[in-house]
Structure 1
Amino acid sequence: MTAEDNADKPSDRPQRGVFRTADLPSEQRNEAWNAIAGSFFDHVVPLVDKAMDGEIHSDLLGSWSTCTIRFNPHSYARRKARSPEEGLNHYFIQLYRRGTLHGECAGHGVYVRPGDILILDVREALTLRASAGEIVTLIIPHAAIERLPDGLHGLVLRHEDVSTRQLAFRFESLQAQVADMSPEEIEASQSAIREALITAIDHTLKQADLPAQQGAPGKTSEEIADDTASLRAVQDILLDWSGRDD
């Protein structure tokens, strides 16, 4: 096992954060939601209500994070792509438990239904609108799934496919058990999710008659440490807003 592999492992039990808009005055809710999402998106705007309404349950797992997010109707956008030096080099892998989403990812139309899994590259441009809903999101480094970022942004894994349902099952299992899992159990779950994700991606690309994706270059331990620090900074913002009572 390489030093890079060791650097990517969770070294302790997950750091959990829980954020609820209901714990804040209404005039602070949009600010708080945008502060947490600001590392990924230019803005998040409620579509029906005056303020964002929802919850974020987040567990930090080394250079990965897993979140359950509940929300009212909203839109979110990133106007232009970022270079690797400008922000996090991660994917959002989002399982839609409830609700729908539509819009554009780098100019390509996207529509997501309950049971589908959406892949977003947090470096790429997007404009999306979500109904009220609930999602399970994995935030993972690009290199974790060994695919080129520009080939996956906006890719939807459809719930009709067996490979998508198998991936969804592993998402749900990790989310349900993560608080009580040891670092070794988390590592095993991450490995199983990675394999299931690659299988589901390859199946979807084959169905769409798209070219196979190329492998991503290996990462140094310093780059993995940067990924971990970047997600920890986001978690710290969430924890800061969770602890406010003013």
Structure 2
Amino acid sequence: MEAHANVAAWREAVATLFDVDELAADEPGPFRADISSYAMGPVLIGLSRASGQRFRRTAETIARSGVDHIILQLYLRGGYDGIAGDRPIRVRAGDICLFDLAQTLETKATAFENVTLVVPRPMFGTHLLRVDDLHGLVLPGSSVIARLLAGHLTALFEFAPRMSLDECQSVVEGTVSLLAACLRNELERSDPDADHAVTAGPSLMRIRQYIEAGLARDDLSASSIAAHFGLSRASLYRLFAPVGGIADYIRSRRLHRAFFDLANSGARGPRISEVARRWQLGTDAHFARSFKAAYGITPRAAREAALLGMQRGTDTTNGATISRWMREIAPPRAD
């Protein structure tokens, strides 16, 4: 493939996930890249090789793509430096890194080869309270857990094309459970002062699921949650203190839902004010301020970016079909 065609094909292949530039900027030869991927039911696994480049995921990219997934990458060769949200990140060969596609990032990579696993957020949400804490997490290649997961990921890619649908379902469920257990351990190890029950306690997971199912209710509050579970408000506050408090947790989850309502609705979708009311986010002005504080763009800008992404998706020859596939295969949220 000619270099210019390779660049165009690569941009389209990764457009759902990242904006890319500075392609092969510091390398003597032309840009080269290739990718092989397999859909395993609700997850996607792929092997990518490419020249050095800069990857960015801005709030506009997030809205344009409209996908809400977690990415796990095993770097077989090369690496990158950058920032994930507000967390500096450095990855080298052998390391495993994670990104939350609902959050921003910018990295500068050398020529690389990696295995990538793309998992819908709800699949991790049944195991971990704060899935967004995974953003920018790096498992050093020298660690036992990274070596264990590296072996699993490479085997998964090798055998993916040979699996039946039933085998894929069983393997994916086992893989997500294994990853969640290992990542929960890593989150606890990296924050020894945190209350480990926040990530591991089954009672807390039930509370989280109850909150997630009731985000649209106007009576969802610390008092109603405490009463439902037979807890004192003080006990509930202690449970959620390590993740910013119960009120902040509910507000952040409502904003997250509102963001992806805007990102996944076309020109005939609900008005911005209707989205604010649906998720109990106050007046239009209050919603706009909270939304911009959380995502760095206004609700209107998010809607406009989403419409741009959908217009690109009408061309079935481009990589935006990946975005539609990722939206369609994501397990439904509880409403």
Where on the TM-score scale, by shorter chain, does this alignment land: which range?
0.7 to 0.9
Superposed displacement of residue 199, structure 1: 2.0
1:156 paired residue among 127, 138, 141:
138
Which residue of the partner structure matches residue 6 of structure 2? 29
Superposed displacement of residue 163, structure 1: 2.2
Superposed displacement of residue 179, structure 1: 1.0
TM-score (norm 1): 0.73
Change (3 A) 1:195 1:81: farther
Q: Does 1:111 align with 2:111?
A: no
Q: Does 1:60 align with 2:148?
A: no
Higher relative contact order (CA 8 A, sep 6+): 1
Other structure's SS at 2:321 match: helix
The 1-side partners of 2:4 and 2:175 are apart by 39
Question: Is contact 2:17-2:65 (8 Å) kept?
Answer: no
Which residue of the partner structure matches residue 160 of structure 2? 178
1:73 paired residue among 52, 76, 85:
52
The 2-side partners of 1:181 and 1:86 are apart by 29
Which structure has greater helix proportion?
A: 2
Superposed displacement of residue 133, structure 1: 1.6
2:144 maps to amino acid: V
Instruction: Render the CA deviation track for 1:177-200: whole Å, top value 9, x for unaligned.
Output: 111111222122212211221122
Other structure's SS at 1:77 match: strand
Other structure's SS at 2:59 match: coil
Question: Is contact 1:117-1:157 (8 Å) kept?
Answer: yes
Change (3 A) 1:25 1:138: same
The 2-side partners of 1:45 and 1:168 are apart by 29
The 2-side partners of 1:174 and 1:151 are apart by 25
Other structure's SS at 1:154 match: coil
Q: Does 1:43 align with 2:20?
A: yes
Instruction: Render the CA deviation track for 1:10-36: whole Å, top value 9, x for unaligned.
Output: xxxxxxxxxxxxxx3222222221111
Which structure has greater strand proportion?
A: 1
The 2-side partners of 1:120 and 1:198 are apart by 14
Which residue of the partner structure matches residue 107 of structure 2? 128
Which residue of the partner structure matches residue 199 of structure 1? 181
Unaligned runs of 5+ in 2: 214-259, 265-312, 314-318, 326-335
The 1-side partners of 2:320 and 2:58 are apart by 25
With 178-187 and 82-91 compared, the bigger mean Cα shift is at: 82-91
With 79-88 and 45-54 compared, the bigger mean Cα shift is at: 79-88
1:207 maps to amino acid: R
Superposed displacement of residue 164, structure 1: 2.2
Unaligned runs of 5+ in 1: 1-23, 238-246
TM-score (norm 2): 0.55
Question: Is contact 1:60-1:66 (8 Å) kept?
Answer: yes
Aligned residues: 206
Which residue of the partner structure matches residue 234 of structure 1? 322
Aligned-residue RMSD, C-alpha: 3.0
The 2-side partners of 1:44 and 1:63 are apart by 29
Question: Is contact 1:164-1:200 (8 Å) kept?
Answer: no
Question: Is contact 2:79-2:92 (8 Å) kept?
Answer: yes
Q: Which has the larger radius of gyration?
A: 2
Superposed displacement of residue 60, structure 1: 1.4
2:163 maps to amino acid: M
